[in-house]
Structure 1
Amino acid sequence: MAELPPIVDLRQSPTALRVQRGVMRFLRNAHDFCCYAEVPLSNGRRADVLAVGPKGEIWIVEIKSSLVDFQVDRKWPNYKEFCDRFFFAKPPELDPDIFPQSEGLMVGDGHDAAILRMAEETPLPPARRKAMLLKLTRLGADRIHVLMDPNDL
C-alpha cells in the first residue's frame, strides 16, 4: 500500500493551522459537515480543508495566512473542479479585500469560524462527485487504520 499523506501538513504555518481548526469546527458544528484536512486531489493539488455535507455536497476551503501567502498562490482556481462550493479562509487580522469578490470567504481562528461571503454553488458532475466520495471514503478509512495500527504501513 502506498504511503498515506499526513493528516496535518507540517509545511503549514501556525496561523494556517489555527484557521484550519476553526474552519473545521465551524463546518461540523454549524453545518453538519464532516471535514478532511490536507486532501490530495487527482490534479496534483492538495486541499487544505475538504468538507462533505449531509446531502453529499462537497466544499473546499483554501487557507491563506498572510498577504504574501495569497499573492504567491496562483493554483487556487484548480480546486474548483473538485467541489460544489469553493472558499478562501483567512485569519481575523488579514484584510478581506485582498480576496476575489467572486469567491466565497471565511474568517477563522483556533476556536471557530464564520462565513463572510457565501460561495457560488457550482454542482459537480455526477461522475466527479462519485469519484470524490469514493476517494474520501478510502482516505478516511486509511487514516483511521493508521491511527489504530501505525506499524502497518
Structure 2
Amino acid sequence: MTDPEPILPALPGQRLARGVGRLLRSMDHAVLTEFTPVRGLRVDVISMGPKGEFWIVECKSCRADFMGDRKWQGYLEWCDRYFWAVDRDFPTELLPAETGLIRADAYGADIQRMAPEARLTGARRSKVMRDFARCSALRLQGLTDPEAFSAAAS
C-alpha cells in the first residue's frame, strides 16, 4: 500500500511556514504559526529553542508580499533572532542584510544566513514565554476538545 499524498496548505506563505516548521523542529525548537506577541502584530512563525531563545520567521511568497509588509520591524523587539523565509525564486536582494535568511518550500528549509542575536530583556522574555505557553495549551485543548471552545465562546 502506498502512502497517500500529503495535504499541503493552500497559500504559498503557509507552505513556506510548513517547511520552516520542519527545519526548526529538527533543531529541537517548539514551533507555533500565526502567533500574536502583542495586539496589532501577528508573526508567521515563532519558535522557542532548547535554551529558551525565541526566533521569529516571516514568510514572504513574492516581491509584492514583502513590499506590502510595513510591520516587520515591530517584530524585532519580540525575539532573539529574526529571519525571512522565501522560496528559491524570491529576489533576496530586497531583504535587509541585517536579518536572517531561510530558503524554504513545503517540505523543508535551510538557513542561508544566520540572523544576528539581539537578546530579549528578562521581562519581555517572560511575557513571550507565558503567551507562547498559553497559546500552545489553548491550541492543544482545541484539538483534543473542540466543544470546549464553542462553550467558552457562548
TM-score (normalizing by structure 2):
0.88
**Counterpart of 2:41 in structure 1: which amino acid?**
R
Corresponding residue SS for 2:14: helix
**May I ask how many residue pairs the two structures share in their alignment?**
141
2-structure distance, mates of 1:43, 1:51: 19
Q: 1:19-69 deviations in whole A, cap 9, x for unaligned?
A: 10000000111x111100000121420010000000000000011110000
2-structure distance, mates of 1:115, 1:62: 13
1-structure distance, mates of 2:21, 2:76: 19
**Paired residue for 2:3?**
none
- Equivalent residue for 2:79, pick from 68, 71, 83: 83
- Equivalent residue for 1:23, pick from 7, 20, 23: 20
Note the aligned Cα RMSD (angstroms).
Answer: 1.2
Q: What are structure 1's unaligned runs of at least 5 residues?
A: 1-11
List 4+ stretches of structure 1 deviating above 4 A: none
**Paired residue for 1:127?**
123
Corresponding residue SS for 2:103: strand
**Paired residue for 1:151?**
147
Tell which has more relative contact order, 1 or 2 (C-alpha 8 A, sep 6+): 1
* 8 Å CA contact 2:83, 2:99 repeated in 1: yes
TM-score (normalizing by structure 1):
0.89
C-alpha deviation, 1:95, in angstroms: 1.5
2-structure distance, mates of 1:113, 1:95: 17
Corresponding residue SS for 1:151: helix
1:59 counterpart = 2:60: no
C-alpha deviation, 1:13, in angstroms: 6.3
Q: What are structure 2's unaligned runs of at least 5 residues?
A: 1-8, 150-154
Corresponding residue SS for 1:41: strand
**Paired residue for 2:37?**
41
